[in-house]
């Protein structure tokens, strides 16, 4: 009998967030855990085969070997390229406050 490992799988949309606890075989790979955790039942829009994934905020490859207590995060695609948004804002003469709101340079 192989040892079991307890991990978490996290996903969020602007409307809903979910963290699932999931028990896997020790040494399981990240993509295998994403496929087997059942999160697709809650978020059918996720492409479990190709979505970007990470562990504790760092992107990992599909073959990353999970450790006990790891939290896999499933990332959504960006809506806009952050560099392009900054370029457009600069072209309009706007800059951002630390809190994230635009301020007028006048």
Place of tokens 């006048």: 106
Q: How far is CA 76 from CA 4, 68, 97, in A?
A: 29, 25, 26
- Please write the tens of the pLDDT for every residue from 35-64: 999 999 999 999 999 999 999 999 999 999
Residue 77 confidence (pLDDT): 79
In the chain, domain spans: 4-75, 79-106
pLDDT of the residue at 61? 95
Predicted local distance difference test score (pLDDT) of residue 98: 55
pLDDT at 12 over 50: yes
pLDDT band at 101 (very low <50, low <70, confident <90, very high): low
Strand 95-96 and strand 102-103: the pairing is: antiparallel
Tell me, what's the pLDDT at 1?
45
Look at residues 2, 58, 3, 61 and name the one whose alpha carbon lies nearest to residue 34: 61
CATH code for the part of the protein at 4-75: 3.10.20.90
- In this model, does residue 92 exceed pLDDT 90? no
Long-range contacts of 37-43 (CB under 8 A, 24+ apart): 37/9, 39/9, 39/11, 39/74, 42/11, 42/16, 42/18, 43/11, 43/13, 43/16, 43/18
């Amino acid at each position: 009998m192989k040892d079991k490992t307890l991990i978490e799988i996290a996903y969020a949309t602007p409307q809903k967030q979910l963290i699932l606890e999931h028990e896997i075989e020790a040494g399981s790979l990240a993509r295998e855990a994403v496929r087997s955790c059942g999160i697709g039942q809650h978020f059918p829009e996720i492409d479990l085969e190709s979505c970007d994934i990470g562990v504790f905020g760092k992107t990992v490859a599909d073959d990353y070997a999970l450790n006990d207590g790891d939290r896999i995060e499933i990332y959504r695609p960006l809506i806009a390229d952050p560099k392009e948004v900054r370029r457009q804002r600069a072209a309009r003469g706007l800059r951002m406050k630390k809190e994230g709101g635009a301020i007028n340079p006048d």
